[in-house]
């Protein structure tokens, strides 16, 4: 017979595991976003022309002689059949323009030359994606230990788990459409949604009991956070548009024309570049307000988040300057995007810390009252 003390220990232990596993999963998703940036900056997105296998194999080839002579025609035909089914589905869903765009784009069926390095970069991206799916599944299982305290914790973990499946499906569409620009952006933004759901679920189990801002300060902070988040998200969306434009220019000019990419990118690039100073100013003021105006009313965790946010955005700004003045070097592109997504996550954590005081883990074990719902 299980004692009441044993039940409390079991619940406590499961919640500790959930926290550790959840944090690991969040870091893993960020790593996947970084790898996705590497895939795009190196042009490795079509390193595997099919999905989920790679050249029809679970372990991809390393040399050209491991492929049939007509591999380009074979995989182009497979994509054509898959896109026909996708276009039919989109038409039935009331999206005829997108369906026509997918079927009418002849570049979709232009097969890239085999490149072993690009193939394995893309394949590693897929393997990490599978691993994260497993992490999220176990995070979901252990999240049920919080179902009576805050039902949103397992709910958000469940939504994240479902979206991983959707993300895999969209990934297959990215491949079948030969990196159709709009689909790539959706693929990236869905990864952001997944990481935000996980951040919410995990951060709702931590305590900020020493947060004692007044109602007036709370209102001001909330407004400042909303403004900062809107600006940061707008900058990310602007960046995706610039990236899509650069992709098109890169196809036309090739790597040898890299020095002309920025010049040919148009107004979107210059708007994105100038907007970065507004992003830095607003987030700098947010960090200043927390660290200098109300330092005694907020926890050390909130201070660390505010300082980290400003430092990350400062580094991100310098990576943007580096891309503008050094012809968009491939190694800076994924770092630039990665830092922007990390900043969004920190903003989300700050918003929760200010608006949702939480119980400590021991307090959660000792109470049956739902909190922070």
**Tens-digit pLDDT profile for residues 304-317:** 999 999 999 999 99
Q: Region 271-283: what's the mean pLDDT?
A: 91
Q: Tell me which of 207, 231, 250 is where a domain ends.
A: 207
Shared domain for 227 and 304, answered yes or no, is yes
Answer whether 307's CB lies under 8 Å from 287's CB.
yes
User: Is 48 part of a structural domain of the chain?
Assistant: yes
Q: Tell me which of 207, 222, 252 is where a domain ends.
A: 207
User: Is 5 part of a structural domain of the chain?
Assistant: yes
Tell me the pLDDT band of 79, cut-offs 50, 70 and 90.
confident
- Determine the Cα angle at 254 with ends 253 and 256, to 5°: 100
User: Is 364 part of a structural domain of the chain?
Assistant: no
Tell me the pLDDT band of 358, cut-offs 50, 70 and 90.
low
Tell me the pLDDT band of 325, cut-offs 50, 70 and 90.
confident
pLDDT at residue number 172: 78
User: Is 131 part of a structural domain of the chain?
Assistant: yes
**pLDDT of 195 strictly over 60:** yes
Shared domain for 172 and 257, answered yes or no, is no
Can you give the C-alpha Rg of the chain in angstroms? 23
User: Cα separation of 18 and 32, whole Å?
Assistant: 20
Tokens of 253: 């000019």
**CA nearest neighbour of 319 among 308, 330, 307, 304:** 330
User: Cα separation of 103 and 263, whole Å?
Assistant: 31
Tell me the pLDDT band of 211, cut-offs 50, 70 and 90.
low
CB atoms within 10 A of CB 37: 21
- Determine the Cα angle at 21 with ends 346 and 149, to 5°: 80
**pLDDT of 11 strictly over 70:** no
Tell me the pLDDT band of 21, cut-offs 50, 70 and 90.
very high
Of 92-96, 114-118, 175-179, 282-286, highest mean pLDDT: 282-286
pTM summary value: 0.82
Shared domain for 213 and 195, answered yes or no, is no
Over pLDDT 90: what percentage of the chain?
Answer: 30
Of 17-21, 167-171, 247-251, 269-273, highest mean pLDDT: 17-21
Tell me the pLDDT band of 371, cut-offs 50, 70 and 90.
very low
User: Is 369 part of a structural domain of the chain?
Assistant: no
For 95-128, write each residue's pLDDT tens digit: 777 777 777 666 666 777 888 999 999 999 999 9
- Total structural domains in the chain? 2
CA 281 to chain centre: 24
Over pLDDT 70: what percentage of the chain?
Answer: 88
Question: Domain of 255?
Answer: 209-357
**pLDDT of 362 strictly over 70:** no
Question: What Å distances lie between residue 316 and 261, 283, 310, 328, CA to CA?
Answer: 20, 12, 10, 14
Tell me the pLDDT band of 340, cut-offs 50, 70 and 90.
very high
User: Is 133 part of a structural domain of the chain?
Assistant: yes
**pLDDT of 10 strictly over 60:** no
Tell me the pLDDT band of 367, cut-offs 50, 70 and 90.
very low
pLDDT at residue number 107: 66
pLDDT at residue number 5: 52
Shared domain for 171 and 64, answered yes or no, is yes
Q: Tell me which of 207, 228, 263 is where a domain ends.
A: 207
Shared domain for 319 and 347, answered yes or no, is yes
**pLDDT of 64 strictly over 70:** yes
Shared domain for 162 and 63, answered yes or no, is yes
Shared domain for 3 and 113, answered yes or no, is yes
User: Is 147 part of a structural domain of the chain?
Assistant: yes
**pLDDT of 373 strictly over 60:** no
pLDDT at residue number 7: 53
**CA nearest neighbour of 45 among 215, 169, 155, 175:** 175
Q: Scanning the structure block, which residue is given the tokens 């491991």?
A: 66
Shared domain for 185 and 230, answered yes or no, is no
Shared domain for 237 and 193, answered yes or no, is no
**pLDDT of 337 strictly over 50:** yes
User: Cα separation of 21 and 146, whole Å?
Assistant: 14
Shared domain for 136 and 259, answered yes or no, is no
DSSP 254: -
Shared domain for 196 and 318, answered yes or no, is no
pLDDT at residue number 179: 65
Shared domain for 181 and 253, answered yes or no, is no
pLDDT at residue number 197: 94
For 233-256, write each residue's pLDDT tens digit: 999 888 888 887 787 787 777 777
pLDDT at residue number 369: 43
347 membership: H or E segment, kind and range: helix 332-355
Buried b (16+ CB within 10 A) or exposed e, 268-302: bbeebbeebeebbebbeebbebbbeebeeebeebb
User: Is 78 part of a structural domain of the chain?
Assistant: yes
Tell me the pLDDT band of 23, cut-offs 50, 70 and 90.
very high
pLDDT at residue number 368: 41
For 225-234, write each residue's pLDDT tens digit: 999 999 999 9
Measured in degrees and rounded to the nearest 5, phi and psi for residue 244 equal: -65, -40
Measured in degrees and rounded to the nearest 5, phi and psi for residue 266 equal: 85, -170
């Amino acid at each position: 017979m299980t004692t009441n003390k044993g039940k409390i220990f079991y619940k406590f232990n499961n919640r500790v595991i959930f926290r550790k596993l959840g944090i690991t999963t969040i870091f893993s998703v960020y790593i996947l976003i970084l790898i996705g940036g590497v895939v795009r900056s190196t042009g490795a997105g079509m390193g595997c022309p099919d999905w989920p296998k790679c050249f029809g194999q679970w372990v991809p080839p390393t040399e050209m002689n491991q492929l049939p002579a007509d591999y380009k025609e074979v995989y182009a035909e497979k994509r054509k059949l898959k896109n026909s089914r996708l276009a039919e589905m989109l038409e039935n869903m009331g999206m005829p323009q997108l369906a026509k765009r997918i079927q009418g784009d002849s570049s979709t069926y232009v097969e890239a030359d085999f490149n072993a390095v690009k193939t394995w970069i893309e394949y590693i991206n897929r393997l990490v994606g599978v691993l994260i799916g497993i992490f999220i599944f176990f995070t979901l299982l252990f999240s049920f230990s919080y179902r009576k305290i805050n039902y949103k914790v397992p709910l958000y973990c469940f939504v994240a788990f479902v979206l991983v499946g959707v993300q895999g499906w969209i990934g297959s569409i990215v491949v079948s459409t030969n990196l159709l620009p709009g689909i790539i952006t959706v693929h990236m933004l869905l990864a952001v949604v997944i990481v935000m759901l996980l951040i919410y679920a995990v951060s709702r189990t931590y305590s900020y009991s020493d947060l004692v801002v007044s109602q007036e300060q709370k209102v001001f902070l909330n407004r400042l956070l909303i403004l900062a988040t809107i600006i940061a998200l707008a900058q990310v969306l602007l960046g995706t548009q610039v990236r899509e434009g650069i992709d098109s220019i890169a196809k036309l000019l090739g790597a040898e024309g890299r020095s002309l990419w920025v010049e040919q990118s148009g107004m979107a690039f210059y708007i994105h570049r100038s907007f970065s100073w507004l992003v830095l100013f607003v987030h700098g003021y947010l960090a200043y307000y927390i660290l200098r105006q109300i330092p005694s009313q907020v926890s050390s965790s909130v201070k660390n988040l505010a300082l980290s946010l400003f430092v990350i955005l400062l580094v991100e700004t310098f990576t943007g300057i580096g891309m503008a003045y050094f012809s968009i070097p491939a190694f800076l592109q994924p770092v630039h995007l990665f830092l922007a997504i990390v900043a969004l996550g920190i903003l989300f954590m700050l918003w929760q810390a200010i608006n949702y005081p939480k119980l400590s883990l021991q307090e959660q074990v000792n109470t049956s009252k739902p909190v922070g719902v």
